[in-house]
Amino acid sequence: MKALLINGSPHANGCTFTALKAVADELEKNGVETEIVHVGNKDIRGCIACGKCRELGHCVFNDIVNELAPKLHEADGLVIGSPVYYAGPNGTLTNLMDRLFFSANYELRMKVGAAVCSARRAGTTATFDRLNKYFTISEMPVVSSRYWNMVHGFTPEDVMQDEEGVQSMRILARNMAFLMKAIAAEKAKNGLPEQEEVTYTNFIR
């Protein structure tokens, strides 16, 4: 079992990393190999809807998005961590997620997904909702904890004092490990659920 954790904060060892590290440590205790990748300080442009990824099998812009694509392909679970910017996720991170998910030339369904949010005070639930949409449009089971997956604090030391938040990270990790293993066992026994051809409609037909 492997889990990829993406740190969308510009601070490599800040509050978001502290939350992700709590998740990673608990995942490791439960037999899941982890890797935390820091992307928040990268220059990542947004998707331009050129469609070239359908021809090339990868995004036309050759940056960290294409470096992460094979890591996500190999992973059984994905954790996205973001600080709160104006009650939403980091723009650099959403640029990456838009392009990573749209250009994926492999199946994302039944990979397990979780979002982790960090804020000094507020905006975490809106950020959490936004990030979960990447999973729920991709047939990825979303992992929950005892509370929404968030921590509060202005510094990493503050975050560690948020005992409920850090506990939520540990519970999230244990639930994630359990779900990943359960899906892998069922997939080995019976395969993935039957898939249908995509039906595209819009609001005028």
Does residue 168 sit within a domain? yes
User: Cα separation of 145 and 188, whole Å?
Assistant: 26
User: Could you tell me where the beta strands, DSSP code E, fall in the chain?
Assistant: 2-7, 33-38, 77-85, 88-89, 112-119, 150-152
Structure tokens at 110: 């039944």
Number of domains observed in the structure of the chain: 1
Would you state the structure tokens that stand for residue 14, as one six-digit string?
A: 């800040």
pLDDT tens by residue, 155-185: 999 999 999 999 999 999 999 999 999 999 9
Name the residue range of residue 12's domain. Answer: 2-190
Q: How far apart are CA 17 and CA 116, in angstroms?
A: 10
Asked whether residue 204 is assigned to any structural domain, the reply reads no
Q: Residue 30 and residue 80: Cα distance in Å, rounded?
A: 19
Calculate what percentage of the chain has a pLDDT beyond 90. Answer: 96
Q: Is the pTM of this model over 0.85?
A: yes
Return the CATH number at 157: 3.40.50.360
pLDDT, tens digit, 9 for 90 and up, residues 60-75 = 999 999 999 999 999 9
Q: Quick one: pLDDT at residue 186?
A: 97
pLDDT tens digits for range 102-148: 999 899 999 999 999 999 999 999 999 999 999 999 999 999 999 99
Answer whether residue 197 is part of any domain.
no
For residue 196, being part of any structural domain is answered with no
